[in-house]
Amino acid sequence: MHTTSFPPNIMLQILRRIGQGGYGLVFQVVNMQNPVQMAAMKTEPVGMLNDDQILKMEVHVLKKLDKSKHACKIYAAGKVIMINQIIL
């Protein structure tokens, strides 16, 4: 198990890998300050073709759907040590 710090000061613990695709991996994570709060962490390595554009578009779309009960909530998004991450 790995621990990572993610803005805004959210401490997450990776529990397990739950999937992967053409652009990266998805992990189940738990908020270490509130162990009841689970989330998914989507990761994509920096340096992939158009990686910043793909991630920005996904975050943009999910933010537009923020009020929808049918879309994922974004807790955080950014880059940590050459890995683009979205916490959903």
| Known binding positions for ATP | 42
Q: Please give the torsion angle defined by the CA atoms of residues 57, 62, 64 and 66, in that order, rounded to the nearest 10 degrees.
A: -160
- Which residues contribute to the annotated binding site? 42
Amino acid at residue number 80: V
